[in-house]
Amino acid sequence: MVRTRYAPSPTGYMHIGNLRTALYEYLIAKRYGGIFILRIEDTDRNREVYGAVEKIRQTLRTAGLAYDEGPDAGGEFGPYVQSERVEIYMRHAQELVDKGKAYYCFCDKKRLESLDDGLGNSKYDRRCLNLSKEEVKRNLDDGIPWVIRQLIPEGDTAFVDQVYGEITISNSELDDQILIKSDGMPTYNFANVVDDHLMLITHVVRGNEYLSSTPKYNLLYDAFGWQIPTYIHLPLILNEKGEKLSKRRGDASFEDLLEAGFLPEAIVNCIALLGWSPSDNQEIFSLEELSRSFDLKGLSKSPSTFDVTKLTWMNGEYFRRMDPEKFYELSLGSLKESVKLKSVDLKKVAELVQPRINFIHEIPALVDFIDALPEYDASLYTHKKMKTNSQNSLESLKKALQALESLDCWDEQSLHARIFKLIEELGIKNGQMLWPIRTALSGKPSSPCGATELCALLGRDLSLKRLRLGIEKLISCSD
Ligand code: GLU
């Protein structure tokens, strides 16, 4: 059975790259009917940030990436947490020592510093490798600080990565890395391998910065006699300036994007396409569709660009495709803030703005004319394409006012029928009637709907009042 894990360190910031890793792990599990787990890699206590674990869980919840198992945490399962499993790593390190695949090292900081070649390379010289069992025991009994190091064998290590292909390196390039630190905690490099094995992980997805450490992991798998998982290392994600995404450079985290008004579904959709392409040109995918379509073949090793302009378009697409009831619920707060007139049907306003926005916060500017007619200039009536000027607009508004004052039924259908009949009677172009009405009712060069819909939306009294105001404005400017 396919089993994947998302294994973040709780450093407080869930950037786009982290979320992409989590998403791909989730999708691989779902695609093959497998299990997706969350494992918190918190053995580096210096890097831990308070509240970070909750932030990770909250992010996964919001993104819809529910994990499938974990230790019981009082009714609900929690994530696996490495700091709660320290004893397991120590036991496994000891097993490697017993097998001669790892060894205790008692060298102090000063000695290790002296091994530095001045260029930051400080490969351990294995001074402690040949200590006898008795010497090791004596040192341990004397309380001399120790670490456990991996014994890197001679030869080459080759492996296949699903994205980068076959990679071979000479073991002579590898250091006898520390497995257990002097505080008794495992290093990330060690705990990661032990846990991936014990948690039966079949596919490991992570950033390509781990590609160079992978041979060391494989040597650990070999030392234990364990099966190596399938590796999927992902290329970098760049910002629009071609730089590596980073919080320091001000690139947005998942949380920042939510705060800026992006929908979680749109963010997830956009992130799915950072490094993976479907076999056709489909761009909009629900999480469920992704779970069906995602495949390793579509992964690419070229860096991808996180394009906020594209995400903005996608956000709009998600609003446009949203069930109108859901959109109404989402926009209601903003609509209520912007439109206080009781006579206006907010559901209708929601319907009008739904196809026109990329963000909920764009709503107020689209509908502000409903409550208060903005101050506008009479020149707005002059529109070259509509063939309108202040004179023919004045004529149109007068005729429209007359016709609408006597209209019995003020609904959109009747309004539409009456206005178009009038256009026909007058023998003028549609725009010569519709543009002046739209302008008088909205006071803006653009509005979320046309003239007759506006009349219906604003109601009889307000519409007639604004038509009269328009007439007055045009008369006063012609004086
Ligand atoms: N704890 C590592 C990180 O946060 C995870 C790397 C991995 O997935 O193996 O980058």
Local confidence pLDDT in tens for the 479 residues of the chain: 999 999 999 987 788 999 999 999 999 999 999 999 999 999 987 777 888 999 999 999 999 999 999 988 777 888 999 999 999 999 999 999 999 999 999 999 999 988 887 777 788 999 999 999 999 999 999 999 999 999 999 999 999 999 999 999 999 999 999 999 999 999 999 999 999 999 999 999 999 999 999 999 999 999 999 999 999 999 999 988 898 888 778 788 999 999 999 999 999 999 999 999 999 989 999 999 999 999 999 999 999 999 999 999 999 999 999 999 999 999 999 999 999 999 999 999 999 999 999 999 999 999 999 999 999 999 999 999 999 999 999 999 999 999 999 999 999 999 999 999 999 999 999 999 999 999 999 999 999 999 999 999 999 999 999 999 999 999 998 76
Atom of ligand 1 nearest to the CA of 41: 1
List Cα–Cα distances, 352 to 151, 323, 472, in angstroms. 68, 14, 29
CA distance 80 to 90: 17
| Distance from chain centroid for Cα 450 | 36
Per-residue confidence (pLDDT) for residue 479, from 0 to 100: 64
pLDDT of 93 reads 98
**Residue 313 phi/psi, 5° resolution?**
-60, -45
Ligand 1 centroid to 207 CA: how many Å?
A: 8
- The amino acid present at 409, given as its one-letter code, is C
Give Cα 428 distance to the centre of its chain: 52
Ligand 1 centroid–CA 275 distance in Å is: 18
Rounded to whole angstroms, how far apart are CA atoms 120 and 154? 23
Q: Which domain holds residue 436?
A: 373-478
Residue 152 lies in a domain: no
Query: Which of 13, 38, 188 most suits a substitution to test ligand 1, by most atoms within 8 Å of the C-beta?
Result: 188
User: Residue 5 CA: which ligand 1 atom is closest?
Assistant: 8
- Determine whether the shortest distance from the Cβ of 5 to ligand 1 is under 6 A: no
Give the Å distances, CA to CA, from 471 to 198, 276, 401, 462, 476: 80, 59, 9, 14, 9
User: Is residue 441 in a domain?
Assistant: yes
Counting the structural domains of the chain, the total is 1
In a domain, 13, yes or no: no
Q: Look up the CATH number of the domain holding residue 468.
A: 1.10.10.350
Distance 47 CA to ligand 1 centre (A): 13
Please state, as a whole number, how many other Cβ atoms lie within 10 Å of the Cβ of residue 134. Answer: 8
DSSP lists the bridge partners of residue 203 as 4, 230
Helices (H), 100-166: 109-114, 133-141
What spatial distance separates the first Cα and last Cα of the chain, rounded to whole Å?
A: 84
4 lines ligand 1 (CB under 6 A): no
Q: Is residue 222 part of a domain?
A: no
Please give the single-letter amino acid code of residue 82: Q
- Check: pTM over 0.75? Answer yes or no: yes
User: Which atom of ligand 1 has the smallest separation from the CA of 205?
Assistant: 8
Q: What pairs with residue 383 in β-bridges?
A: 388
Q: What gap in Å lies between CA 201 and CA 216, rounded to an integer?
A: 18
Please report the atom of ligand 1 found closest to the CA of residue 11: 4
Domain assignment present for residue 12? The answer is: no
Coarse DSSP helix, strand, coil percentages of the chain, rounded to the nearest 5 percent: 50, 15, 35
| Cα angle value 80/32/61 (rounded, 5°) | 45
Task: Name 242's Cβ contacts closer than 8 Å, sequence gap at least 6.
Answer: 305
Strands 76-77 and 102-105: unpaired
Domain for residue 228, yes or no?
no
**195 ligand 1 Cβ < 6 A:** no
Look at residue 100 and tell me if it is in a domain. no
206 within ligand 1 shell (Cβ under 6 A): yes
CA of 108 to the centre of ligand 1 (A): 28
Helical residues (DSSP H) of 287-362, grouped into ranges:
287-293, 308-321, 324-338, 346-353
User: Is 423 among the domain residues?
Assistant: yes
Catalytic positions, written as ranges: 247
Closest listed residue to residue 265, CA positions, set 305, 308, 329, 318: 318
